[in-house]
């Protein structure tokens, strides 16, 4: 029986991607798919004048963005409907009123023609203002219709220059519409003010903020977000964990969301029948500035406090999400009672100086209770898999080969001495 397993994943193990790896039984109370329409992604690119700066791998920010976009377009899954919207790409003048209307759909959201989309991106030249708020409003309208997943990926190197249409308020307005749209943001400049604004936009819709300073980082992160849109859409169910196991809520198979304060822990309970297997995974996201070097720990323990299995993962400041998971197959013994397993989630994130510590960091917990493997499923009579038998055969073969080789060596030496 497996008694201890560690499952860890890096940045690519995004919150939704992790949950897509586990199958939910039909009729689960939580995490039901919301629709079968094609997922939609709208890439919103800042083409303002500041994108001329040459500080990304020896080339301009615009050149880095074009290179990353071309590679992302090549890797976009066939089932994703993708569009590209620009801000600050067309008006080079000083009239603020006109500059703050400068947002346009470069490539319409729909089935992707890679050649056409690349040709459109190639025409872009850094030009004008930075109307992030107006661009987000229009980008949300571009994604209207259908009940598949909808995602905006905003890439910018500067703060919005068109307030009082505050981008954070725009993002909150979009979230309040309840259309299930997520906004992820990427900052091309390590600026505190830019990070605060882009983090606020992402947090309002449950998205993520990432700071990128190299072309490959930009390409990889946008690829991750586009791939995430193609994952099955599930709706997390709020669950409020407790400070200790006896007070924790009992969860069934599904996807749950909660918040965990810095320096605290959250407990949940899951009932596991004999012959069933518990699979659980957790992702904790940094939705604000945190200190580098952090980790997350997921423990499954008995109601009496004995540890059954644990999973842990660490981050180094280059990812905004840390994920880990555990598996626990309960033996199918006759007359064995249902076992209550306590799941403990602990993280070691710490808030950067001057950053609010409340509310806690968002976490997503996946719980999956399934039928465990039967005794006849590729298992030998002693409970060892076929691989163990193969290993035994190889050991025995090696032993016999050694005996034969030793006998032959002694025989050759004896013949040599005789001659």
Cis peptide bond upstream of 6, omega within 30: no
Level-2 CATH architecture, domain 40-230: 3-Layer(aba) Sandwich (3.40)
Q: Could you report the per-residue pLDDT of 147-179, keeping only the tens digit for each? A: 888 999 999 999 998 887 889 999 988 887 777
Q: Could you report the per-residue pLDDT of 91-138, keeping only the tens digit for each? A: 999 999 999 999 999 999 999 999 999 999 999 999 999 999 999 999
Residue 249: phi, psi to the nearest 5?
A: -70, 150
Q: Span 272-300, mean pLDDT? A: 89
Beta bridge partners of 345: 266, 298
Beta bridge partners of 242: 267
Q: Is the dihedral of CA 231, 314, 244, 246 positive or negative?
A: positive
The CATH class, in words, for 7-29+235-371 is mainly beta
381: phi > 0 → left, psi -120 to 50 → alpha, else beta; which? alpha
The token duo for 24 is: 């939910």
| Nearest alpha-carbon partner for 32 in 223, 180, 204 | 180
Q: Give the residue carrying structure tokens 């209307």.
A: 101
Residue 40: phi, psi to the nearest 5?
A: -125, 140
Surface-to-core class of residue 86, CB atoms within 10 Å of its CB (0-12 exposed, 13-18 middle, 19+ buried): buried
| Nearest alpha-carbon partner for 11 in 323, 231, 290 | 323
Residue ranges per domain, the chain? 7-29+235-371, 40-230
Q: Could you report the per-residue pLDDT of 197-227, keeping only the tens digit for each? A: 998 898 888 788 888 889 998 998 898 888 8
Is the per-residue pLDDT at 271 higher than 50?
yes
- Asked if residues 93 and 49 have their Cβ atoms less than 8 Å apart, the reply is no
Give the whole-number percent of the chain exceeding pLDDT 70: 80
329: phi > 0 → left, psi -120 to 50 → alpha, else beta; which? beta
- Asked if residues 114 and 73 have their Cβ atoms less than 8 Å apart, the reply is yes
The token duo for 76 is: 């976009």
């Amino acid at each position: 029986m497996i008694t201890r397993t560690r499952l860890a994943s890096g940045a690519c193990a995004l919150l939704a991607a992790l949950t897509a790896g586990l199958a939910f039984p039909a009729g689960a109370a939580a995490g039901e798919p919301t629709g079968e329409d094609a997922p939609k992604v709208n890439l919103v690119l800042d083409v303002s004048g500041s994108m001329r700066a040459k500080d990304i791998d020896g080339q301009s920010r615009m050149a880095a963005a074009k290179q990353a976009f071309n590679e992302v377009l090549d890797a976009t899954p066939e089932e994703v409907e993708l569009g590209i919207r620009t801000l600050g790409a067309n008006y080079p003048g000083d009239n603020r009123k006109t500059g703050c209307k400068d947002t346009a759909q470069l490539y319409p959201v729909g089935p992707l023609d890679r050649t056409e989309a690349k040709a459109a991106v190639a025409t872009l030249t850094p030009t004008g203002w930075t109307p992030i708020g107006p661009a987000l409003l229009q980008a949300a309208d571009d994604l209207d219709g259908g009940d598949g997943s909808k995602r905006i990926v905003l890439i910018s190197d500067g703060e919005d220059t068109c307030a009082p249409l505050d981008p954070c308020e725009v993002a909150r307005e979009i979230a309040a519409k309840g259309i299930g749209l997520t906004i992820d943001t990427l900052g091309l400049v390590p600026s505190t003010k830019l990070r605060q604004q882009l983090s606020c936009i992402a947090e309002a819709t449950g998205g993520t903020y990432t700071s990128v300073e190299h072309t490959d980082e930009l390409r990889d992160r946008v690829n991750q977000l586009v791939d995430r849109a193609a994952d099955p859409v599930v709706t997390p169910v709020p669950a409020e964990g407790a400070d200790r196991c006896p007070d924790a809520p009992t969860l069934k198979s599904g996807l749950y969301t909660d918040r965990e304060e810095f320096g605290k822990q959250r407990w949940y309970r899951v009932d596991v029948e004999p012959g069933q297997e518990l699979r659980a995974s957790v992702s904790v996201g940094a939705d604000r500035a945190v200190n580098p070097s952090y980790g997350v720990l997921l423990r499954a323990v008995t109601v009496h406090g004995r540890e059954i299995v644990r999973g842990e993962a660490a981050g180094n400041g280059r990812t905004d999400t840390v994920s880990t998971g555990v598996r626990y197959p309960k033996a199918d013994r006759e007359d064995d009672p249902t076992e209550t397993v306590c799941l403990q989630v602990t993280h070691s994130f710490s808030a950067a100086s001057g950053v609010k510590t409340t509310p806690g960091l968002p976490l997503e917990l996946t719980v999956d209770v399934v039928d465990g493997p039967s005794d006849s499923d590729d298992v030998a009579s002693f409970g060892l898999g076929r691989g163990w038998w193969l290993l035994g055969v190889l050991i025995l073969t090696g032993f016999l080969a050694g005996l034969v080789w030793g006998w032959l060596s002694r025989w050759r030496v004896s013949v040599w001495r005789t001659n």
